Amino acid sequence: MTASEISFFILAVLSVAAALVVVFGKNIVHAALALVLTFCSVAGIYVLLDAEFLAAVQILLYVGGITILILFAIMLTSRISGGGVRILNEQVGVSLVVVGGLLLLIVSVLWNASFAGSAPPPVQTTPYIGRLLITTYLLPFEVASILLLAALIGALILARKEKE
Amino acid sequence: MVPLHSYLILGGILFAIGMFGALTRRHAIGILMSIELMFNAANLSFVAFSRYLPESALRGQVFAIFVITVAAAEAAVGLAIVLGLYRNFKTVNVDEINLMKW
């Protein structure tokens, strides 16, 4: 086993275990902290895939931004309670069947698929991504900025206390 | 070198776990977190394809950046909705919010 295979295996096990804690964790704060671990291991897998820029974006935006936002929302809403409270609704059986079927489908399709081409030698990706974003993907880039502005204003209006 | 299939199967497993959470969690923020897991699984597949298929020319990574942008917007609006729900219903368990259920 090479170093990259070993690190992939460790990161994969870590991310799946943390994802299971996110879904089945009794305490919602623990689930949010496990989410941080999942995001970090996915960022590690991005590094293995030679996508350093995306790994940095993942850490900055997901770990630094979204998780903090989620923790704030948890603190503002729920009374933090430990065990005793039911965390899953009564659809567990049906969901298990649906999700198991989906997973089986994904794995069986991937098992039989063969993809042409093998990995080319790694290149420095960050400058190319920057160039793509301001040339080929300029329009989606601007649309994304408008989407962010709209989401910002929408979130403000939704979260604001109504007068009177 | 780790084969492409391993990354894709890992993405599939993470997606399935996230989907199970989105379908069964009672806590509204738990559902949002599960949806973030699903976004991550999809991004993982995008990045893996963009690394292993040379003719893709980094399109997968650019698409993953846009997915992260939309996920950030979704989290902000979703959490604002959760705050509004808590203000009006004094609960964040989605199965207790059944005002419009017959």
pLDDT at B35: 95
- B88/A contact by beta carbon, under 8 A: no
Is residue A162 over pLDDT 90?
no
Please state the rounded mean pLDDT for residues B42-50. Answer: 92
Strand partners, A88: B25
- B20/A contact by beta carbon, under 8 A: yes
Please state the rounded mean pLDDT for residues A112-141. Answer: 82
Residue A122 binned pLDDT confidence (cut-offs 50, 70, 90): low
Q: What is the overall mean pLDDT for chain A?
A: 87
Smallest Cα–Cα separation from A43: which of B31, B9, A35?
A35
Chain B interface, best mutation among A7, A29, A49, A114, by max B CB count within 10 A = A49
| A14 and A39 Cβ atoms separated by less than 8 Å | no
pLDDT, tens digit (0-9, with 9 covering 90-100), for A143-160: 999 999 999 999 999 888
| A32 and B33 Cβ atoms separated by less than 8 Å | yes
Q: Report residue B49 as tokens.
A: 């394809």
Q: What is the ipTM of this complex?
A: 0.91
- Partners of A2 on chain B (C-beta within 8 Å) are 1
Smallest Cα–Cα separation from B3: which of B35, B48, B36?
B48
For chain B, what is the total number of helices (H) and then of strands (E)?
A: 3, 0
- A119/B contact by beta carbon, under 8 A: yes
Q: What is the overall mean pLDDT for chain B?
A: 89
Evaluate whether the domain defined by B4-96 bears CATH number 1.10.287.3510: yes
- Partners of B2 on chain A (C-beta within 8 Å) are 4-5, 8, 48
Fold of A1-82: Four Helix Bundle (Hemerythrin (Met), subunit A) (1.20.120)
Q: Report residue B1 as tokens.
A: 């070198």
pLDDT at A59: 94
Strand partners, B27: B93
- A155/B contact by beta carbon, under 8 A: yes
| B12 and B42 Cβ atoms separated by less than 8 Å | no
DSSP for chain B reads ---HHHHHHHHHHHHHHHHHHHHHB-BHHHHHHHHHHHHHHHHHHHHHHHHH-GGGTTHHHHHHHHHHHHHHHHHHHHHHHHHHHHHHHS--BGGG--TT--
pLDDT, tens digit (0-9, with 9 covering 90-100), for A64-105: 889 999 998 888 886 655 555 677 888 889 999 999 999 999
- Partners of A111 on chain B (C-beta within 8 Å) are 5
- A39-75: burial string, b at 16+ Cβ within 10 Å, e else: bbbbbbbbebbbbebbbebbbebbbeebbebbbebbe
pLDDT at A81: 56
Q: Report residue A32 as tokens.
A: 């949010």
Please state the rounded mean pLDDT for residues B57-85. Answer: 91
Decide if A69 and B75 are in contact by the 8 Å CB cutoff.
yes
| A26 and A83 Cβ atoms separated by less than 8 Å | yes
Domain ranges for chain A, please list them: 1-82, 125-164
Is residue A63 over pLDDT 80?
yes
Q: Report residue A129 as tokens.
A: 């991504």
CB pairs under 8 A between A and B: 220
Residue B46 binned pLDDT confidence (cut-offs 50, 70, 90): very high
- Partners of A154 on chain B (C-beta within 8 Å) are 77, 80
Residue predicted with more confidence, A119 or B87: B87
Is residue B14 over pLDDT 70?
yes
pLDDT at A144: 94
Q: Report residue A125 as tokens.
A: 């990706």
- B35/A contact by beta carbon, under 8 A: no
Is residue B9 over pLDDT 70?
yes
* Interatomic CA distance for residues B70 and B78, integer angstroms: 12
